[in-house]
Amino acid sequence: MSTSGHKEDFNYRLWRYDGAPGELIPLLQSAQDHFGFIPRKAISYISSVTGIPESEVYGVITFYSQFRLKPMGKYVIRACAGTACHVSNSDKIIEIIEDELGIEVGDTTDDGLFTLNTVACIGCCSLAPVVMINENTHGNLTTTSIRKLLKDYRGKAVGGRR
């Protein structure tokens, strides 16, 4: 991903920074919009422009769940951990995803293909247990079907249909 155009947009947002209190969140949102996450260089740059210590900028980033310090995978898996899914063994589905991908909840695979997150409810309780992969919902999952699903998504990426 080229960041040259993003850098210009990001710099434009910072150029408009007038030192007003409350500008840190919009600056962080701008950085994340343009980079897909908030890279270390953006934290340093925002700190130097605003005069807010890097440690405080980092503290704000880690306080708000909307901000990411790492890029998301090509496929973002949102595993439901709501009541209906929980009683339908979603914890086992999540465990299999972690094992199959070699990551834990909140992590991204080394190849950048998958990010695994849990959510409180997807709203498809009749299909429990459920995961969403990007915008696609997959329900009535079993230990076998989740393994096949992950294999299919990996195959899509490896097969060149990105």
Provide the terminal-to-terminal Cα distance of the chain, rounded to the nearest Å. Answer: 14
**Predicted pLDDT of residue 53:** 94
**Distance in angstroms (rounded) separating the CA atoms of residues 129 and 80:** 7
Question: What are the structural domain ranges in the chain?
Answer: 4-63, 75-158
Measured from the Cβ of residue 57, the count of other Cβ atoms closer than 10 Å reads 21
**Token pair belonging to 154:** 């990996």
Measured from the Cβ of residue 26, the count of other Cβ atoms closer than 10 Å reads 13
Instruction: Please list the residues that pair with 150 across neighbouring strands.
Output: none
**Token pair belonging to 109:** 């695979």
User: Is the full-model pTM beyond 0.85?
Assistant: no
Say what the alpha-carbon torsion angle 48, 14, 16, 9 is, to the nearest 10 degrees.
160
Per-residue confidence of the chain (162 residues) as pLDDT tens digits?
A: 344 445 555 665 555 666 666 789 989 998 998 888 999 999 999 998 888 999 999 999 999 888 999 899 999 999 999 999 999 999 999 999 999 999 999 999 999 999 999 999 999 999 999 999 999 999 999 999 999 999 999 998 877 544
75-158 classified as CATH 3.40.30.10: yes
